[in-house]
Structure 1
């Protein structure tokens, strides 16, 4: 067998192998991109009541120019009244409807955490410093509200709404 016939015989096999490698690389790249997108707090999150353990509201977190903000987009359970207002708020949100209210402001990415912002608890009107961390492969969000030191606060785990 000559070198040219050997090359002609195996050339199609090399093309098949090359095509498979390219397809595998594309699939791996798209899976990596999907994972990278899921490690951001952007999305719709189901908040859980600390006392009852039941879903309380849906909060939609969006990102614009590196800053994340969160808005109440739906009340759940006892909180599903669309005309419910924030009577406990002490800032400009006092008396405003909770539905559509921006409760998270100024969060920015810092390593694997999102920090530097504020979060409003519309139940008591308190505004806390806030930091967040996406966990469990992007399925959960640990939201920590605190006054002063992050050690002196409380963490809620929100669940990504599918």
Structure 2
């Protein structure tokens, strides 16, 4: 009687761990790439809070002569005139099937906020921002 119970507990534990890992597969640090130059742009820390996914810029890769501690002058919401490092740019996405959607993403360079959808594709994070029917997709790479 003890062995079947232990086996059942083990199976439930594995199933719960697998579900947790799948739900939180995008949690961690991700490197963004500049669309124009193809060079690393930032490290974004993605975390889960109250069932929603958020992303905060924790590091910028700046060129010589750029402000080492930039401020988002073009932002139009509560982030206006706030420092970019430490800024939450990804807000409120929820897990829906194999993707996270329903949230927004901010581009601190132009101050615009877009609806977004996020999904994993072969270990890379695909981040798509929408403005009406137009969209742009970036590939982010996990930081080890």
TM-score bracket for this pair, using the shorter chain length = 0.7 to 0.9
CA change 1:159–1:63 in 2 (3 A) is same
Q: SS where residue 86 of structure 1 aligns?
A: coil
Q: In the TM superposition, what is the alpha-carbon distance from 1:77 to its structure 2 partner?
A: 3.4
Whether the aligned pair in 1 keeps the contact of 2:75 and 2:111 (CA below 8 Å) is yes
- Aligned position for 2:142: 160
- Runs of at least 4 residues off by over 3 Å: 32-39, 79-82
Task: Give the structure with the higher percent helix.
Answer: 1
Are residues 1:84 and 2:70 paired? yes
CA change 1:105–1:35 in 2 (3 A) is closer
Are residues 1:110 and 2:96 paired? yes
- Aligned position for 1:72: 57
Are residues 1:144 and 2:132 paired? no
Give per-residue Cα distances to partners, 1:130-156, cap 9 Å, x unaligned.
0000121xx31000001133xx20000
Aligned partner (choices 63, 79, 82) of residue 93 of structure 1: 79
Paired residues in the alignment total 132
Aligned partner (choices 119, 137, 140) of residue 105 of structure 2: 119
Give per-residue Cα distances to partners, 1:99-127, cap 9 Å, x unaligned.
00000000000000000000000000000
Structure (1 or 2) with the larger CA radius of gyration: 1
- Aligned position for 1:43: 28
Q: In the TM superposition, what is the alpha-carbon distance from 1:38 to its structure 2 partner?
A: 8.2
Task: Give the structure with the higher percent strand.
Answer: 2
Structure 1 unaligned residues grouped into runs of 5+: 1-21
Q: SS where residue 63 of structure 2 aligns?
A: helix
Are residues 1:132 and 2:114 paired? no
Whether the aligned pair in 1 keeps the contact of 2:62 and 2:68 (CA below 8 Å) is no
